[in-house]
Structure 1
Amino acid sequence: MGNFKEDIAAAEAFIFDVDGVMTDGGIIPTVDGDFIRRYNAKDGYALAYAIKRGYKVCIITGGRGPTLERRLQMLGITRYWTDCMDKIAVLRQYFAEEGIDPARAIYMGDDIPDLECMREVGIPVCPADAASEVLETSRYVSEFRGGEGAVRDIIEQVLRARGDWARDSQGVTPSSLAASR
């Protein structure tokens, strides 16, 4: 581990939890067993933009439901695990399948189930409102809370460090992601 800015410029992959990272952690159960979550549009834009630029993005979450999976698909995320109770095994599997050096991976988590994964990567980060154990484990704590821009914060920092942020003004939408596949 070296300088944080140098390390993020060499990052190979982003791995995110969902509830408490991409959302504020609040969920509303529906009668059909799904959950309603509130997402930040700027976080979503940054995720889709990073994917469009060729960055590897993976989601590993204990969260579940067709609405969650549809949200991830809309953003262009193809590598995701939901309803996951063994995050570290899945993380190691993902690294092996993608040939990713864990020292060059960013993992953003917010609570105790994320700690093992955060200790496995070279660049553990978290939202401002993460659990105290997660705050202590992180190399970087976003000034933003989960679901309020923390995801965009770290993605934007990495892409800026590599000269890839705002390289064009075309933007990304779910339909433009589908067209580029």
Structure 2
Amino acid sequence: ARVLEIDDPHDLARARALAPLLDPAADPARPPGALPDRGAIDAVVMDFDGTQTDDRVLIDADGRELVAVHRGDGLGIAALRDAGLALLILSTETNPVVAARGRKLRVPVLHGVDQKDRALKQWCDENGIAPDRVLYVGNDVNDLSCFGLVGWPVAVATAHRAVRDAARAVTTAPGGSGALREIASWILGPTLAR
């Protein structure tokens, strides 16, 4: 099913038409290597678990949850904030660690959100941000509704397959291991100084 003999221009046209059905990354509307830059983005909205963490949770004897975050991600987020981009952490989880990370990064947090797309649309409206100028980074199927709303849906390397397939770009770094720093370098350049 993935092999097509090409003998003439009609066969080539047929192969190009079939390619996106077999491999979403082959979609000509989404050329390989196309990454967002500062001119295309006004806001970055981030899921928390699985994007800023590796999606694991440690639970201590008192039932408190602990997660690990990547310092490079914090540096990237600070650079995006300093560059004037609007930022938001959007999570379905209600967890003090999400709010604490938002305070540390000086990024607003909406958590305990059941309908992420509705909350994102309202946030965009309240802040005068066009959804097509938003980069949304996620990792699991509950992020797909937001992917359909924004101009730059981005998946981390360790995202669920359906999320990677729906993304306009996919990081090489896993969630919780520098994926957000990588995204910041797409937008601001490797030195984060644009």
Give the deviation of 1:44 after TM superposition. Answer: 0.9
Give the deviation of 1:50 after TM superposition. Answer: 1.4
Q: Name the counterpart of 2:74.
A: 44
Q: Deviations over 1:124-177 (max 9, x none)?
A: 01111110110111011101100011111111211129xx8236xxxxxxxxxx
Q: Deviations over 1:76-101 (max 9, x none)?
A: 11x21112221011101111011111
Q: Name the counterpart of 1:18.
A: 48
Larger radius of gyration, structure 1 or 2?
Answer: 2
Amino acid at match of 1:25: D
Structure 1 unaligned residues grouped into runs of 5+: 168-181
Does residue 151 of the first structure (1) align with residue 180 of the second (2)?
yes
Q: Is 136-145 or 58-67 further displaced after alignment?
A: 58-67
Q: 2:192 aligns with which of 165, 168, 171?
A: 165
Q: 1:89 aligns with which of 101, 118, 137?
A: 118
Q: Name the counterpart of 1:126.
A: 155
* Residue pair 2:68, 2:176 contacting (<8 A) in 1 also: yes
Q: 1:89 and 1:14 mapped to 2: Cα distance?
A: 16
Does residue 66 of the first structure (1) align with residue 100 of the second (2)?
no
The 3 A distance-change label for structure 1 pair 8 and 55 is closer
Q: Name the counterpart of 1:179.
A: none
* Residue pair 2:72, 2:178 contacting (<8 A) in 1 also: yes
Q: 1:117 and 1:84 mapped to 2: Cα distance?
A: 12
Q: 2:64 and 2:150 mapped to 1: Cα distance?
A: 31
The 3 A distance-change label for structure 1 pair 151 and 69 is same
Amino acid at match of 2:78: A
Q: Provide the alpha-carbon RMSD of the alignment.
A: 2.2
Q: Name the counterpart of 2:3.
A: none
Q: 2:156 and 2:36 mapped to 1: Cα distance?
A: 21
Higher relative contact order (CA 8 A, sep 6+): 1
Q: 2:35 and 2:178 mapped to 1: Cα distance?
A: 19
Percent identity for Structure 1 against Structure 2: 30
Q: 1:15 and 1:89 mapped to 2: Cα distance?
A: 13
Structure 2 unaligned residues grouped into runs of 5+: 1-28
TM-score normalized by the length of structure 1: 0.82
Q: 2:129 and 2:98 mapped to 1: Cα distance?
A: 25
Q: 2:134 aligns with which of 105, 129, 134?
A: 105
Q: Is 108-117 or 82-91 further displaced after alignment?
A: 82-91
Q: Secondary structure at the match of 2:189?
A: helix
Q: 1:140 aligns with which of 156, 159, 169?
A: 169
